[in-house]
Amino acid sequence: MTDWLDAVQWDERGLVPVIAQERVSHDVLMFAWMNREALARTVELGEAVYWSRSRQRLWRKGEESGHVQKVHELRLDCDHDVLLLNVEQLGQPAGEATIACHTGRHSCFFELYRDGAWVSVEPVLKDPERIYK
Amino acid sequence: MTDWLDAVQWDERGLVPVIAQERVSHDVLMFAWMNREALARTVELGEAVYWSRSRQRLWRKGEESGHVQKVHELRLDCDHDVLLLNVEQLGQPAGEATIACHTGRHSCFFELYRDGAWVSVEPVLKDPERIYK
């Protein structure tokens, strides 16, 4: 069970960058970090578990918000130092746009570069105060 | 011109992680890093310019391989510390699968986790020896 974890090139902090891409829409939802334990737990649970650098602890995505990410595929890049998750973003009624961002938006990548400025181009789908009660 | 560059949360090395996603296929092609100059040059040229941590220099994607990435959109995430590029991957004849990875594959994310191992699931489209002559 450790071989595949040893194959990952952990950085000097023992972390690896992780990209979460939505299975249906193919949208890149968010970017986070994992340590060895987070990756092992992700595979075990079949749900994304990240390492929170600010809180210095494991963080099961959706543990507070309910915005759990079911992991369908896990890929490693050519240098073995970046992970790509193919996820089903849960937490919204079927048919509604999913929410991955703590700001209540679909994706964390909502600031678009335009003529020398960053412009917010995605709507807030749910007030964060209602997400984190 | 500096305001939008100052808005980026550069890490302690002055770098920011960058995800390159292909415009047409929506595939995540690769992951790399930019420093301030690389980001400024990317916007100036309309083509991806990264910071090579191994070579410690700016690296215009495709400078050797011809696999240039034309940048259509540039997005910043909610924490202002990750960039997402929407790119047109150049370098292959029209209609053929594009190549972004230095191994000659379409995407760098070609190792799939399966039953406790990483399995290479994408074909090599062009021998790297023919790419880097």
ipTM exceeding the 0.95 mark: yes
pLDDT of residue A133: 76
Using only C-alpha atoms, chain A has a radius of gyration, in whole angstroms, of 15
DSSP A48-71: -EEEETTTTEEEETTTTT---EEE
pLDDT at residue A1 tops 60? no
- Tokens 């679909």 belong to residue: A106
- The predicted pLDDT at position B1 comes to 54
For chain A, positions 103-132, list CB contacts with chain B under 8 A.
103, 105, 108-113, 116-118
Is B7–A118 a contact, with Cβ atoms under 8 angstroms apart?
yes
Beta-bridge mates of residue B89? B69
User: Are A76 and B30 within 8 A, CB to CB?
Assistant: no
Task: Output the pLDDT for position A63.
Answer: 94
For residue A78, give both structure tokens: 């050519």
Q: How would you write the pLDDT of chain B (133 residues) with one tens digit per residue?
A: 579 999 999 999 999 999 999 999 999 999 999 999 999 999 999 999 999 999 999 999 999 999 999 999 999 999 999 999 999 999 999 889 999 999 999 999 999 999 999 999 999 999 999 998 7
The b-or-e profile of B112-131 (16+ CB within 10 A means b, else e) is bbeeeebeeebeebbeeeeb
* Pairing between β-strand B49-52 and β-strand B57-60 as defined by DSSP bridges: antiparallel
A38: Cα within 13 Å, side-chain hemisphere: 24
pTM (2 d.p.): 0.97
**Nearest in space to B86 (alpha carbons), one of B15, B10, B17, B24:** B24
